[in-house]
Amino acid sequence: MAESIPPVVQAFDHGSAEFAEWTPLLWDPVGAATVETVPPRPGERVLDVCCGSGSSAIPAARAVGVEGLVDAVDLARELLDQGSERAEGLPQLRFHHADATRWAPADGLPYDRVQCVFGIFFLPDMDAAAGHLVGLLRPGGTFAVTTWRQGSVDDVVGPLVQALTEETGRTFDRPPSARQAARVDTDVKLAGWLSGIGLGEVAVRLVERDVPITPDSAWRFVMGSGIRAALDGLDAPAVAAVHARYRTLMASTTVLRARALVGSGVRIG
């Protein structure tokens, strides 16, 4: 069935080269930390939604081994292609071009684990999506969600908004994903949200990663993220002007202090 592709997913597709540059710096380490927090066991069935290029799906596939299965689901074809290339030698890992909010495994069997790294807040109704995904777990199965801790990417995103406003006069409307992300951006809020969707044994762990940046690598970070959509409709000279202003604003920022929250809980009943 043809999927309609949301603008934020198109932004990830268009920014796939920039996204790939940040894969070894940030996406892979946080994906690995998510899997290590509550590791899947050999032979288990895992669903990884909003999988991108497989930063958490690949370590999960290594953990479950060839007796297990990882279904990795995303709507960004470019990122899925990157993931497939990186997953050589892991036949238990299958990438699917599909909408996470409507995904159901073809065999109808439940998963032992469902995980979603930096993706849950992009799903149009985060609570309904989580309910659907938890419903794909067996009772006792694990749901793991990784989110940004409050303020962690403000140092690189804030100057983009400022540059955009100053150069174009555009007002920047906070996207729905930012509002949803704000609901799960502290350990207390994330734990409360996981309990609220009916999970037990809820725990939250902080993952910290300091990444040295330059104004140009920071630009590629934002251009490889959903915020890229904020430049939609600008012509090339306008984008160049925003870029130049961003570089100036970022001149003295040398580190991205990335702080991620890995929340987990268990399906009851």
Cα gap 70→43, rounded to integer Å: 10
Cα gap 218→231, rounded to integer Å: 16
Query: Which residue lies nearer to ligand SAM by CB, 79 or 250?
Result: 79
Query: Which residue lies nearer to ligand SAM by CB, 105 or 247?
Result: 105
In whole angstroms, the minimum distance from the beta carbon of 123 to ligand SAM comes to 5
The number of residues making up the chain comes to 269
Angle, in degrees to the nearest 10, between helices 57-64 and 77-86: 40
Query: Which residue lies nearer to ligand SAM by CB, 99 or 185?
Result: 99
Coil, helix or strand at residue 167: helix
In whole angstroms, the minimum distance from the beta carbon of 2 to ligand SAM comes to 14
Query: Which residue lies nearer to ligand SAM by CB, 47 or 100?
Result: 100
Residue 207 in tokens: 């993952």
In whole angstroms, the minimum distance from the beta carbon of 87 to ligand SAM comes to 14
In whole angstroms, the minimum distance from the beta carbon of 49 to ligand SAM comes to 6
Query: Which residue lies nearer to ligand SAM by CB, 118 or 143?
Result: 118
Binding site residues, ligand SAM, CB under 6 A:
6, 8-9, 12, 27, 31, 50-52, 55-56, 73-76, 79, 99-101, 117-119, 122-123
Query: Which residue lies nearer to ligand SAM by CB, 17 or 244?
Result: 17
Alpha helices (H) in 15-104, listed in sequence order: 16-22, 28-37, 57-64, 77-86
In whole angstroms, the minimum distance from the beta carbon of 124 to ligand SAM comes to 7
In whole angstroms, the minimum distance from the beta carbon of 167 to ligand SAM comes to 25
95: left (phi over 0), alpha (psi -120 to 50) or beta: beta
Cα gap 97→173, rounded to integer Å: 29
Instruction: Quickly list DSSP for 110-147.
Output: PEEEEEEES-GGGSSSHHHHHHHHHTTEEEEEEEEEEE
> What residue is closest to ligand SAM based on CB?
52
H or E stretch including 222?
A: helix 215-223
